Structures are given as structure tokens and as C-alpha cells.
């Protein structure tokens, strides 16, 4: 009986070794090709952040702040006249700098005050045209010291499916060419990894135009 049990045990071990060896051979004979599929799309920014900053200098803080409030009202009215709504404009608190605090011999005015009227809007084209009209404010002795604009694109979720499909299609075309050149046929997808989407300016002169890009990595089985 012990001999029978021993024979049975040896048989099971040999079977397990045979099965393991078969699985190993299948994995070793598995042929795949890994490719990268690229998709790019040019889009227009749909959000603009437009801070209008100006400053004033003087020795009397009382009169300086009064002048600042009056002139910030002029800038506010100017932005409304251009077509922005009041909900799109936010006026910051005045920033005050004492120019003599660390320079007692300074001959400049004692105080510098500045204020920002920040425009957050979807009216991207209006921002672009308004920037070119800021010099009108100089007629009221208002000199804008900062007119940079940050352009954003928030519609990524709407174009994601289309771009992923395009990246997958491009990757498959590359894999099919490889399979043909190697005398094989392209099989099913083994693994697929969606890369990170990136959004960048198309170039430095047109920051309101964005380039959206994604690279997907896909593995295909190769068949004889």
C-alpha cells in the first residue's frame, strides 16, 4: 500500500512538472509587438485670465488711495464698455508700499499703491482685442503695468474619446506594418496603456491656440 501511495505521489509530481513545463513553453513562444500611437489636436483656448494692473505714487496716502479708487472705477467702466460683465471682473484690495521704509534718503514719493482688476472670462477673442485698447486709459493718466493673459483650455473631456481612438488607430497601423515586414499577422490586443494628455501653447506668439497631445502604448499578439 505504501508502494502504491509512493507511485501515485511520484506520478502527481511528474504531472505537475509536465504541466508547468508546458505553460512555460507557451509563455516563451508568445510573440508580441509593442507600439506607440500618437494623436494631436489643435484647439482654441476657452478661458482667459486677464489681470489689469496699474499703480500710483504719492506722499499723501489719503489722497493717493482716493485717486486709486477713482481711477480703478475708470478702468472698471472701460472693461464694461468693452463687453465684459460685472460678474467677470474682480477688483483686488489696494497694495501699499512704503518706499522710505528701508531707504531714508530716497527722493522718490513715499508711497506706491497698486490695484488689480482681474478678468476671468470665456470671451477669449474679446480679451485679445481689449488688450490692444489699453493705451486709451493713458488719457486719464492710467498706465497699465501688467497686461499678460493666461489662456486655458478646459474642454479636454469632450475630445478625449476621439483622441484616444485616433491614437489607437495610429498605433495599429504601425503594428500592422511591423507584422507584415516580419511575415506575421497582427492578432488581438494584449495590453493597452493610455498615456497622459498634455496641453501646451502652439507657439509663443499665439498662446490662445493650444496643442493637445496623447501617446498610447499598445501591445499586440503576433500570429503566424
- Give residue-wise pLDDT tens across range 58-99: 999 999 999 999 999 999 999 999 999 999 999 999 999 888
- C-alpha distances (whole Å) from 130 to each of 9, 82, 148 are 87, 7, 12
pLDDT at 102: 73
Residue 99: exposure state from Cβ atoms within 10 A (0-12, 13-18, ≥19):
middle
Residue 1 above 90 pLDDT? Answer: no
Q: How confident is the model at residue 8 (pLDDT cuts 50, 70, 90)?
A: very low
pLDDT tens per residue, range 42-51: 999 999 999 9
For the entire predicted model, the pTM comes to 0.78
pLDDT band at 29; cut points 50, 70, 90 = low
Residue 115 has pLDDT above 90, yes or no: yes
pLDDT score, position 62: 92
pLDDT band at 109 (very low <50, low <70, confident <90, very high): confident
Buried b (16+ CB within 10 A) or exposed e, 27-58: eeeeeebebebebeeebebebbebbbbbbbeb
Domains contained in the chain, CATH given: 30-44+154-223 (3.30.110.170), 47-152 (3.30.70.2970)
Pair 224, 185: CB distance under 8 Å: yes
d(CA 91, CA 114): 11
Amino acid at each position: 500500500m505504501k508502494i502504491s501511495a509512493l507511485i501515485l505521489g511520484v506520478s502527481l509530481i511528474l504531472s505537475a512538472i509536465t504541466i508547468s513545463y508546458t505553460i512555460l513553453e507557451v509563455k516563451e513562444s508568445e510573440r508580441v509587438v509593442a507600439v506607440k500611437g500618437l494623436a494631436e489636436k489643435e484647439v482654441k483656448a476657452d478661458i482667459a485670465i486677464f489681470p489689469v494692473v496699474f499703480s500710483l505714487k504719492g506722499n499723501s496716502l489719503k489722497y493717493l488711495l482716493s485717486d486709486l479708487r477713482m481711477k480703478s472705477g475708470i478702468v472698471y467702466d472701460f472693461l464694461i464698455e468693452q463687453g465684459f460683465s460685472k460678474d467677470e471682473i474682480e477688483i483686488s484690495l489696494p497694495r501699499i508700499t512704503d518706499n522710505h521704509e528701508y531707504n531714508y534718503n530716497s527722493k522718490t514719493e513715499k508711497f506706491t499703491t497698486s490695484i488689480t482688476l482681474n478678468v476671468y472670462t470665456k470671451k477669449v477673442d474679446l480679451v485679445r482685442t481689449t488688450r490692444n485698447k489699453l493705451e486709451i486709459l493713458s488719457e486719464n493718466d492710467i498706465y497699465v503695468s501688467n497686461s499678460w493673459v493666461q489662456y486655458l483650455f478646459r474642454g479636454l473631456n469632450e475630445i478625449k474619446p476621439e483622441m484616444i481612438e485616433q491614437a489607437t488607430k495610429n498605433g495599429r497601423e504601425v503594428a500592422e506594418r511591423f507584422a507584415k515586414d516580419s511575415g506575421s499577422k497582427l492578432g488581438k490586443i494584449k495590453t493597452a496603456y493610455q498615456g497622459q494628455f498634455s496641453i501646451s501653447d502652439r507657439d509663443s506668439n499665439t498662446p490662445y491656440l493650444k496643442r493637445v497631445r496623447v501617446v498610447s502604448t499598445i501591445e499586440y499578439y503576433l500570429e503566424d
